Each structure stands twice: as C-alpha cells, then as structure tokens.
Chains A and B, each alone.
Chain A
C-alpha cells in the first residue's frame, strides 16, 4: 500500500469496475492500546491496518447483481485482482433484490488527504495516571485503554467521494479487593483521552468498593431497579439492532404486529421516552452517509452515499421508525430509514444524576453494569444476562450496601411499559457492546418489576 494512497485506490478500483460500476471503500485503522491487570500493565499494541473493499455491480440475466471482495492492496494489479474477484462473485450471485440506481453523494474536498493517526503521547498520559493509581495497594486495578483513528475513503461510480475520520477513545477501570469479594467498574468513551481523568475513575471505583463492604443478600424475583446509563444503553442497543423494518414486516420480530404488518405507531411506554440515532449528536458525531459493502435488512450497498438523518425509533413512548435500506423500506411499506452509528436515549421528565435518580426510587436496587447479554426468545425479545461490578441496595433513598449479583431475564421492549422515573442523559460507555457500539448518550431509568430471575455467585 506504500505506493498507492487509499484515496487513489478507490479511484483506481472505480476505474477498473468500468461501466457496470460499483462501490469502493478504503479504510485506514490506526489504534493503540494498553491493558492492565493486578495493578500492572500487561499487553499493549500499536496497530496500523489498511483495507480496500469493493462491491462490483454486474449485469445478470434478470437484473443487476453485486459481488463483494476485500483485502490489502499494494499495487494496481492487487486492485485489479480484487475487482475481478468481486465481479466474478456478482455474476455467480445473479440479480440482487436490492439493486437500485446509485445516489450521487457529496464530493469531499479533503478526499485525497492522508489518513488520521493516533497520538501516542495521549496513551503515555494515561499510563502516567495509572502509575499513580497503582500506588494504592489496598486494592488491585484492572482495565483497558484504547485510542483509535479510523479514516474511510468512500467512492461510487455515481461520483460520490467521501473522506470521513472517526476518532474513538475508550477507558475502563475495574478495581477488586485482594480477597476478590468486591468488584467495581467505571468506564468512559469519547474521541480523545484528553478529558480522561484517571484519578476520578479511580475514586469512583474505590467508592464502589467501599459501599460493597456492607453485603446484603437479596433473593431473586421482580425488583424495582435503577439502571445506570451504561446498563440501559446495552439493552437499548440490542433493541436498536432488532428494529429492522423488513424483519418486522415479515412477521419475524418483536416489532411485528399480530395481525400482520409492523407495530409502528404503537405506544410502548407511557412516558415521553425517546430512542434516537443521530449522526450529529454532540460528542457522538458519526458519519451521516450510508456506507455499505454488502446487504442486510438495515443497509444496501446500492444506498452508499445517501444521507442519514436523525431518526427517532421511539418518540415520546411510541414506536415511530424501523431501520431499513431503500429496498427493505419498500418491502415493509415504511419510509427509507438508514440509521446512524450511535444512540441517544432520553426521557422528557428525566432529571438528575444516577445517584439522584436512585435516591428518588426510595427502595430498590441500583444496577451499574450488565454483562453477557443474549437473546432467549426473539418473539418477545427476551434477553438474558448478568448484573456485574456493583448492585447496590437503596433504602429510604440511601445506598446502604451491596447485593449479590443476578441473572436477569427481561425484554427491553416489554420493560418500557414499566419505566417509572428517569434521570438526565449522559455520555456513557456501554459495558457489553463497547467493542461495536461505543457512542451512547443515555438516561438512567427506574423500572418496576425488573426480572432478576436467578442468583449469581460471581463477583
């Protein structure tokens, strides 16, 4: 790749694709990370990756087909080989159901600029902060810090040329007692480590461990709980991943109506509860154009370059939109709804911090993290998973100790009807899905009758 820039590789691929056209996406991924355990740095990495992905459009007997190929390229011959592979796949695959005329998207002036890089000095600053934290040997620290810079060069045979840079940072700190009978976690996502205060995170996890010195056994059952922003984010992200217009229209989703069609327009929550994907959300900015090398119920390669608008999936408690490509929107008879790569969850009546929201609950459990979330029943979107790193017992509005952990069985759709209070939305790191979905601003909520199904002895 040293001879041909990523932007040039897109131009060359589109030239080689010829009259049938297609989509070319070149990506540079630069990332650096530190990992630590038992209060000592362990593994680390400084990685540079470059990839070219091609969707080749071909004329099949009954329409337009699309074939995909991706890999590293260094020379024009490498690009030609990728294009040939993609075209051959397209011919074999036959006509694509989602074939449509490409949209002439924007042409960015900075398209030929170099990819973004990671500033390692930020990582050094984090390492310095950790050294300070590790000096406290009353507990042991574990965690992870990663800074990445992803640069995408998107070209289509309709003329689109997009260059987009996504900076992402992620910091996680876990503290455990030496006896391993207490465990607490704090996390933060953003675009830079500049605003990561390692000492503040250390204080937060130490405070959690302090609360956990008082252990109160709580039996499984239906409990009133306050879910932290991170915990609710993990549940709402799963809801968003399930909010497919096509799956709902074909009767294969929790969002399918019993009598056929979808549940769009149905009230899911009595509150002014809103779930939004907004590419312009402050602090969570992400690309506002479709990039898709491949087809799913949510996206089509033929839509590459089209604009992504802010979308309320749930607005003021009512299901208002389901994600789609142009093709799947037509099947579902719903508006074309591409979705941005972030989530904002708010409640109009929500106010106050997590701690204040939990205090208003009066009596119940404050759940800080959820883990190992998996689908049990797609019909109800029943999810299971665990509480982790801090379930706090709230009595008379005060945290009085920590409970054991639980396995939950809950539907993120069904529980919306049982939200009774909420706090103010804050930027948060979804503990479970951070690898795939780090951009979230979510309110903490209080839920009645949350199904903490069985006890977990894990710490």
Chain B
C-alpha cells in the first residue's frame, strides 16, 4: 500500500456512513474528491491565460427502498456532512415513489483500507510557471519562424485527482492520479483563406517528463509542423468517392472511442442514456454472436494500462481495476459495467467502470481505456501503406461526430497523405471519412504490429445528465481499411 500525502478530511466518513445507516440506507457510499488543475495558454507567443484551480467536495450516495439518493456539498464541515446525508436520504425517498426498477448491486469483495497512486516521473505541479511558460515559448519560437506560419496557439494543461471512497462494506480507499496534455497549432492565412496544422501528442497519465521527450518526440514533431502546414496549403482537394485508408493511431483512437467505446457501454445499450447521449446498436441480444468487425479485430477494456487516463486502482464504487475483452476475433464479447448495471443483466461482478468527475456528481458507468490490440506479427505502418494502390494515410484527429446509436460516423484529421501504388506522394486536403460502424470495422483488412501501437485519448469525454467529463485513453496500432466513403468537406459546404 502506497502512502498518499493529502489533506482530505476522511474522518467525516464514519459520521456520514453511520448517519446514512441510521436513516435507513441499505447501501451508503461516501466520497471526498479533490481536483487540482493548472493551465497556461499562449497566443502568438504571448501568455493569454495562466491559472490554477483546486476544487474539493464531499458526497453521499445511498439506496433507500431500492432507489438511489445522491447529495453533495463543497462545505467539508461535520454539519455539512450530516446535512448531505439527510438530503441524499430525502432524494432517495422521493425517487422511490416513482421507481419501478429497484437498485441491485453486483457483488464485490471488500478491499478494506487501500491506497493507490498512478506512477509518474516528474511532478508537473512542482514545476514553476516560469519553467512551463519558457517551454511553451520555445515551442512557439521554433514554429513561428517559418514564413508559412502566421499565427501560433499553444497550451498545456495538468490535472491531479486525489480521492477517498468509503462504504458500509468497510472499504476505505485513497487514490491519486495525474494527467498532462499539450498542443500547438500553426495557422496560415493567405489569399485563399486559412489552414491550420496541429501537433498530435495525446494527453497522457504522466508527469512533466511527457513535455520534455518521454513518451512523445516533441522535437521531431515541432520541427515538422511548418512543412506539414506548407504541404497542406499547397495540396489538392480530395476527390470524393471510395478510397482505401491506412489510419494512424493518432487518428484511429477517436474512431475507437466513438464507435466502440461508447457503443459497448452497457448502460447505453439498456437505455439509461437514451434521452441524452443515446443508446447503442450493440444491444444485449448481440452479445457473443454479433459480427462487429473483421477477424483481426480484438478490443479490450481496461483500467490498468500504463499511463492510461482511465487507469485506477479501484473504481468509484470500490471495484478493483480489471482488463477484459469487448470484442474478440471480430465478435462482440463484452460490455463496460458498474455494479448496478452489471446486476441488471445477471453478471456476477462489475468490471469496474463507475466514475464521477467530481464529488458533486453521481458516479455513473464511464468508459475505461478501450483499445484495439495490435497484431502479433511485426507489421509496420509502411507495410500497410505498401499494400494500397490508391488510398490515404490519415494522421491526427480533428472533427468527429456519430449518431445516437453509434452507427453513422464522420471524422476528419490533421494530415492526409495520398498513397499511390504503395507509396506516399504528397498531402490532400478537405478529406472527410464517413461510414457505418459494423461496415467500417468489417472492412479492416489488417492491423499493425506492436511497433505501431500508441495510446491516444482525450480529456473531454462527455456523458450523463447533469453532464460529466471524463479522461480516457485508447490504444491502437495503425490499421488498413478497404473501400471507405470519402467526402470532400469543401464541396459538402457548397452542396
């Protein structure tokens, strides 16, 4: 067990849990969460915003007469803890009047007193503002000196969650995890309008070492950005139609997120997000028999990946972190669950996907790290490109949209390299790829090997009402897709 230095008033847990039990709670969970963040943004090399935020709150979730009740407060006093318990009990009683679907929780062994810390290298919160600004300004200078570049935006963000969870089962779990992200965008403004080119480094569960070369080669990418932008400005507009695609993991992670990650959330499949985020075509009757994609498609869910944004020791219901298959050999084999959702379909145990983005929000089923597994063979991205006569190699994410059952999606990217006869011959622009989830994954002919694998991800995955935001990672190799519908974004606008 790792000792975590923190200032969370965990002593309130006993008071709150006792009060909840005395008030008739069949289940009671107590959380305190502290969220620290830092952000610095530069516009054309000048600091536009620099600041930090530190939020802390407590919450109580109970089940009374088979119904959930949740209340939260940023007041961490004993009186507030008692009041929060009372309000949670009241919400549960109100809800019980109109609930016909009693809450049942899948079993989870008690883990007792635990602490867990995401391993990082260099503490980003210990870095001075001066040091971080100097780094961003050096990036800005390197890119801005190119004549093609008229403007440069750069920013970095750092986050740290320190959480405590306790329940009537005797759990008392303290955890801490860090994350960091940075992006730089170069903009060209010319006679024919404007174009931009952005770095592709994903956010990661790492410390400041990530911005100085561990886990991402910033020097190489920053050096290449002006040339990528120049090529894009001068590139021809894509011809709409059917193309073969080699998709880099810097782009494919987002397609995985939208078309697999959200589609395999069991709460969505059962209708619990129907009013807001939507449902899923991957309904429970398809488990074990639905052909999601080609036989080379193997997808896992996990909360244990190194540097993963969804990696934890225990989820927000005290379930220990796990890894499992969502899709095996192209067949749907699993879902993401929390304890109540798992119980609804008779699963013996949740796979640990309960998450709340702050103590003021109720834990709901959120996405674990969902990753497409690489081939055991040593297949490089160049190997995949060499198999394409006429195609596009897509790098970096940009625009994304998918329908409310996770069928029809449309994505763009940062850089689109045209492939002719197995070779890259230059860039294209205005490329938009659009497909239907099972068709798209069914067209995946090959995946790259481990050397092409990268953990992408996002900090801003939205779900739930009231809305919650979650960080999540998605690993992917490069992959080859045949016969994908390509739209021309410029032509779509003037259709």
A residues with CB within 8 A of B: 1-2, 31-51, 65, 67-72, 74, 85-86, 88-90, 92-94, 96-97, 120, 123-124, 127, 130-131, 134, 140, 142-144, 146, 172-174, 176, 180, 183, 185, 222, 250-252, 256, 258, 294-296, 371-380, 382, 384-386, 388, 405, 407, 409-411, 414, 435, 449, 451, 453-459
A48 vs chain B, min Cβ distance (A): 5
- CB of B407 within 8 A of CB of A49, answer no
Pick from B53, B54, B487: contact of A453, CB below 8 A. Answer: B487
A120 CA to B86 CA, complexed, in Å: 13
Pick from B91, B98, B403: contact of A40, CB below 8 A. Answer: B98
Pick from A295, A378, A456: contact of B407, CB below 8 A. Answer: A456
- CB of B79 within 8 A of CB of A2, answer yes
- CB of A72 within 8 A of CB of B74, answer yes
At the interface, is chain B mostly helix, strand, loop or mixed?
A: mixed
Task: Enumerate B270-296 residues with CB–CB distance to A below 8 Å.
Answer: 270-276, 278-279, 281
A252-B151, A380-B494, A409-B487 known; A50 vs B404 contact (CB < 8 Å): no
- CB of A388 within 8 A of CB of B404, answer yes
For A378, what are the chain B residues with a Cβ–Cβ distance below 8 Å? 194, 196
**Nearest neighbor of A174 in chain B, beta-carbon distance:** B275
- CB of A2 within 8 A of CB of B77, answer yes
Closest 6 CB pairs of A and B: A68-B51, A92-B129, A458-B405, A251-B189, A380-B493, A93-B47
A435 CA to B463 CA, complexed, in Å: 11
**Nearest neighbor of B465 in chain A, beta-carbon distance:** A144
A380 CA to B360 CA, complexed, in Å: 39
Does B5 make an interface contact (CB < 8 A)? no
Pick from A256, A379, A451, A454: contact of B408, CB below 8 A. Answer: A454
A47 CA to B278 CA, complexed, in Å: 25
Does B380 make an interface contact (CB < 8 A)? no
Pick from B70, B129, B434: contact of A43, CB below 8 A. Answer: B70
For A85, what are the chain B residues with a Cβ–Cβ distance below 8 Å? 52
Beta-carbon contacts of B155-189 to A below 8 Å, as 1s and 0s?
00000000000000000000000000000000101
A449 CA to B493 CA, complexed, in Å: 11
A2 CA to B81 CA, complexed, in Å: 13
Pick from B67, B129, B465: contact of A93, CB below 8 A. Answer: B129
- CB of B407 within 8 A of CB of A458, answer yes
- CB of B50 within 8 A of CB of A67, answer yes
B449 vs chain A, min Cβ distance (A): 32
**Nearest neighbor of B410 in chain A, beta-carbon distance:** A384
- CB of A251 within 8 A of CB of B194, answer yes
A45 CA to B73 CA, complexed, in Å: 11
29 A-B pairs with CB atoms under 8 Å apart are: A2-B80, A34-B95, A37-B275, A38-B270, A38-B271, A42-B101, A43-B68, A44-B70, A45-B71, A46-B71, A48-B72, A49-B74, A50-B74, A72-B55, A86-B51, A92-B47, A92-B130, A94-B46, A120-B90, A120-B94, A142-B274, A146-B466, A251-B194, A386-B403, A409-B487, A409-B493, A410-B493, A453-B495, A454-B434
B259 vs chain A, min Cβ distance (A): 12
- CB of A386 within 8 A of CB of B71, answer no
For B405, what are the chain A residues with a Cβ–Cβ distance below 8 Å? 457-459
For A89, what are the chain B residues with a Cβ–Cβ distance below 8 Å? 50-52, 129
- CB of A294 within 8 A of CB of B71, answer no
Does B373 make an interface contact (CB < 8 A)? no
Does B432 make an interface contact (CB < 8 A)? yes
- CB of B98 within 8 A of CB of A176, answer no
Q: A65-B47, A380-B494 are in contact. List 11 more A-B contacts (CB 8 A).
A: A40-B101, A43-B364, A45-B70, A46-B87, A48-B75, A50-B75, A85-B52, A379-B193, A407-B410, A411-B493, A458-B281
- CB of A140 within 8 A of CB of B271, answer yes
Pick from A41, A65, A258, A414: contact of B95, CB below 8 A. Answer: A41
B43 vs chain A, min Cβ distance (A): 8
For A174, what are the chain B residues with a Cβ–Cβ distance below 8 Å? 274-275
A127-B94, A407-B401 known; A458 vs B271 contact (CB < 8 Å): no
A46-B90, A92-B130, A414-B493 known; A41 vs B98 contact (CB < 8 Å): yes
